[in-house]
Structure 1
């Protein structure tokens, strides 16, 4: 076996500047995959840029909540009231989403978002969850819905077979049991999963420096297991990062810098980690 890594830039479609940065990174071979937010304002622009560059289809970044820094986003499906507030927009507060959401409405919206990609001529190989919406709210119900949906459409799903190192230390009790049950459920359905996930898991407000982010990621790469794992980043140029609050914009600038950092490339070579487009 060999150690392989999918380098994924999330949030294609968020805005034009982010789209441009992600497509440039993919064209330069610094990112091997991206995920598309079909409900975000620059989704169509992202699709056009991917096509023009001759790049592989993005994965589906299932988006079920609005972002506070942008005008509210709306679902693509009709009649999904548990996902929306009074004016028909997605909840911006994750707590409101968690208290109201039903699996039936999530399934309806996932179907609509995948259908949007299909109508654009895109056949995503996998899906995942923006802001972790499918992972935490309402216990295992949404996870089970997402895994069955993935199996039905022959899609991989972003759920690591091996828990990331930091989560392995922190997760205990019921959370760990739910995780183990989800991995077993995916295996029973034949849903493809990454081996583990790598990223800078600290919130932007807790990042003191670029060196801290780089050290976190490079250390995780040194312990990467055999198989196909995934590095998750949210690279953004200054114009896009400036729209975000609480240090998240700065973190995205750091992640963009990391991908072009010679130390990152040296670590991949030294560790014998091969970059690949999919898990």
Structure 2
């Protein structure tokens, strides 16, 4: 079987220490892709570090909600006049479910254009698009995946939309399977490339009592990887970057960083005959 895997470090741009860690992982070939949040406070720092390291462009990690842990004042949209996306103070809502349900399609489209434009204005040309906190996928009960697929087709981008939901994501988007199937069909019709399956450590950080359980959860998913190109999503961060997070969430990010350099993880990849690639 030809099984390929993109190993993606999400959330480039949230703070300089996380940026430095992800760039090091990219430079060392430990991860094969990364994603950048243009509205995050250290997005410009991330672009500078990528250029200094001679690395290629990250994917666009579209954010329609604020990162609670990193921005005490909230994140702001790049587009102007997108009232359905913002709180009264002009920031993106912290609650991703609020962002997903309140957003209008015209405002989402304007913000997609603005975040993509922010990257292109800096000569950073992302090959693909995906969604911070899952607001485009319907995880919180309303799918915007069709809108994202059309946007990607218009701008020559691939889209992180799994062709197969898998057990965990299938539970997360219960009731939205028809919307998911429709978005997958639309992607195929428009030539938007999508991954076969998404892998991650899906348990909330507070429910993971030890590093060994996180590693076992991820390695078990490798054994079930289908043919084609799938994606492993991780959120690696050093200890100094997670002090403001809830203890379980911060610990999980530190453990995901540990996983990426764990010989047992890399032995599992070799044992399963999985080829690491940079894109779907």
TM-score normalized by the length of structure 1: 0.95
Rounded Cα–Cα distance in structure 2 between residues aligned with 1:37 and 1:50: 14
Q: 2:82 matched to which residue of 1? A: 80
Once residues 188 and 174 of structure 1 are traced to their aligned partners in structure 2, the CA distance between those partners, rounded to angstroms, is: 23
Would you say the 8 A contact 2:100–2:142 is kept in 1?
A: no
Match of 2:256 in 1: 255
Does residue 201 of structure 1 match 2:202?
yes
Pick from 128, 143, 146: which aligns with 2:145?
A: 143
SS of corresponding position for 2:136: helix
Please give the alpha-carbon distance, in whole angstroms, between the structure 2 residues aligned to 1:22 and 1:129. Answer: 18
Give runs of aligned pairs for residues 228-267 of structure 1, distance below 5 A: 228-245=229-246, 247-267=248-268
Judging changes above 3 Å, is the alpha-carbon distance between structure 1 residues 3 and 104 closer, same or farther for their aligned structure 2 residues? Answer: same
Task: Tell which deviates more after alignment, 173-182 or 53-62.
Answer: 173-182
Shift, 1:212, TM fit: 0.7
Q: Quote the residue 1:158 is aligned against.
A: 160
Give the corresponding residue for 2:92.
90
Instruction: Label 1:167 to 1:75 Cα distance change in 2 as closer, same or farther (>3 A).
Output: closer
Query: How far off its partner does 1:173 sit?
Result: 6.1
Whole-Å separation in 2 of the counterparts to 1:77 and 1:127: 17
Deviations 1:160-211 (A, max 9, x none): 112224334x368632222222211211221100111111111111111111
Alignment of 1:19-168 (within 5 A): 19-69=19-69, 70-71=71-72, 72-136=74-138, 139-140=142-143, 142-168=144-170
The whole-number CA distance in structure 2 between the counterparts of 1:8 and 1:260 is 14
Distance in structure 2 (CA, Å) of the matches to 1:184 and 1:139: 18
Contact 2:101 2:142 in 1 (8 A): no
Q: CA RMSD in A?
A: 1.5
Which ranges of structure 1 fall in alignment gaps of 5 or more residues? none
Deviation per CA, 1:219-266: give whole Å up to 9, x if none: 101111111110000000001122211511111011000000000110
- What SS does structure 2 have at the residue aligned with 1:76? coil
SS of 2:123's partner is coil
Q: CA deviation at 1:16?
A: 0.4
Q: SS in structure 2 opposite 1:88? A: coil
Relative to structure 1, is the Cα distance of residues 96 and 226 closer, same or farther in structure 2, using a 3 angstrom cutoff?
A: closer
CA distance in 2, matches of 1:102, 1:172: 20
- Contact 2:7/2:33 (CA < 8 Å) preserved in 1? yes
